[in-house]
Amino acid sequence: MKQTLATIDDVLHAFKTPPGNEGRKLILQAYEFANAAHNGQVRASGMPYIHHCLSTARILAKIGMDARTVAAGLMHDVPEDTPETLATIAKKFGPDIAQMIEGITKLGKIKLRGTKEEYKLENWRRMFLAMGSDIRTVIIKLADRLHNMQTLEHLPQEKQQRIANETMEIYVPIANRLGIGEIRSELTDLCFLYLHPDAYHSTKNISETQIKEKEIYVKKAIEEIKKELKSEGIIFVDVHGRAKGIHSLHQKLLKHDMDINRVYDLVAVRVIVNDIAACYETLGIVHKKFHPMIGRIKDYISLPKPNGYQSIHTTVFGPDGRVLEIQIRTQKMHDEAEFGIAAHWLYESRKHKSWKDYFLPKKNEVSKKEVEWVMQLQEWQKELGNNPEEFIEGLKVDFLKNHIFAFTPMGDIIELPEGASIVDFAYAIHTDIGNSATGARLNGKMVSLDSTVHNGQIIEIITDKNRKSPNADWLTFVKTSMAKGAIRRSIKRARKAQEE
């Protein structure tokens, strides 16, 4: 793909604040500093090095990051590739920006030791440690990796494959877990292009052939939906169509024997309204206008996805009786679907008026709850110590695999990875519940403790208060690190007590 030189005007345009804004001034200062530092340097593409810095910063601005993070994106390679130091950056731009850049520098210093698997494990470890200390460091790294993938064509084929594979295994799942759909989708398609070029191009051809015809139909559906919403007094922010990504379409086609006619959301309609009540009102209006397809309504507002995604999805028989997917959400939900955790800064950072707000670090910018799973991971990593294989395996299951939701009889929601067992469910409620579990009722029927939990099930754990230690055989089927760790600790304590 042909790359055009990014400019500081592109970054400022993406930042979307008026001239004279203190954040814009900071970004301009960072650009001037980085431009001077990288003067004369070029990338493998032959482009001036500053193009990469500007492109990274533009991505950060587009997803709604604050001025300090955009400035750090502009200067993220300065200490590594130029004579300028972190100390100089801290003096000129403040400790907060310097700390972000230091985190990026540390992430970039991963050395390949031993096997490729060991290298990958170390990459994972560093990435998640960085997430716990400052999530913005990882967001900058994602933007940096996205631009590197956009310019991958300039590298040798072997390097293209290695970088694309690493991106698919490490950066795509992280972007997904952080809910940054815009970056995740583009990274996935670019990886698909380099790892499976034939499948990519054939899928792209199918998509392009079908989308032209579908877009005409979707446009008609949008006009009918708008008309219906207006007549019912629903104020909408926007109604638009969105085409499915190439990799996502390929995955759907594989499920449906490569039959494009069975892919209902090749082009979906998104309806964006002002509040949650309007979302449900809109769903009712859409269903009154178009008959819904049975079993194809998904309410991710009341039951969000593990990465925070919220929306209502419904598949209907639209104009002329043709099947169409419609997604209904608020503007905030839409921004969070596109930008994930970065949407926090979209709503908060541009309220600042004093220059101090841009140069001084702020505490608790993202609540602990928003990255609670990262904190859990760090605690678990400390517990595992020097067992990288179990770390990576657990990481894939607990944090990056698709998750499901099940319920206690009291209606409490328990989040678990796909494939989790009843015992995993018990330990997710409380360690004592897991240790004393003797049986379970699943939707009112007795089941064995090794049964697999599925989305939406109601599970009652039967316990014996006299039982204090779990069965060691449970380790053969439990999936979550929480359950494994609790079982091992209990067994260890029981053995120690016997020896005494």
- Catalytic annotation, residues: 80-81
Q: Note whether 1 and 55 are within 8 A (CB).
A: no
Please choose, from the candidates 374, 377, 452, 455, the residue with its C-alpha nearest in 3D space to the C-alpha of residue 420. 452
Dist. CA 247–CA 236, nearest whole Å: 31
Helix (H) or strand (E) holding 277: helix 276-289
- Residue 463 main-chain phi, psi, to 5 deg: -120, 160
Q: Where are the alpha helices (DSSP H) in 109-153?
A: 116-133, 135-150
Dist. CA 459–CA 301, nearest whole Å: 22
Contacts of 188-193 with C-beta under 8 Å, sequence gap 24+, read 188/245, 188/247, 188/248, 189/245, 189/246, 189/247, 190/146, 190/149, 190/150, 190/152, 190/164, 191/149, 191/164, 191/165, 191/167, 191/247, 192/246, 192/247, 192/250, 193/164, 193/246
Q: Note whether 487 and 474 are within 8 A (CB).
A: yes
50: Cα separation from own chain's centroid: 28
Please choose, from the candidates 327, 167, 347, the residue with its C-alpha nearest in 3D space to the C-alpha of residue 236. 327
Q: Note whether 237 and 218 are within 8 A (CB).
A: no
List, in sequence order, every beta strand (DSSP E) within 280-412: 291-299, 312-317, 323-330, 403-407
Dist. CA 270–CA 284, nearest whole Å: 15
Q: Note whether 27 and 350 are within 8 A (CB).
A: no
Query: Cα torsion for 155, 159, 161, 166, to the nearest 10°?
Result: -120
Q: Is the dihedral of CA 74, 79, 82, 84 positive or negative?
A: positive
> What's the token pair of residue 168?
């698919």
Tell me which amino acid residue 354 is.
S
209 conformational bin, left if phi > 0, alpha if psi -120 to 50, beta if neither = alpha
Instruction: List Cβ neighbours of 412 (8 Å cut-off, separation of 6 or more).
Output: 429
Instruction: List Cβ neighbours of 473 (8 Å cut-off, separation of 6 or more).
Output: none
196 conformational bin, left if phi > 0, alpha if psi -120 to 50, beta if neither = beta
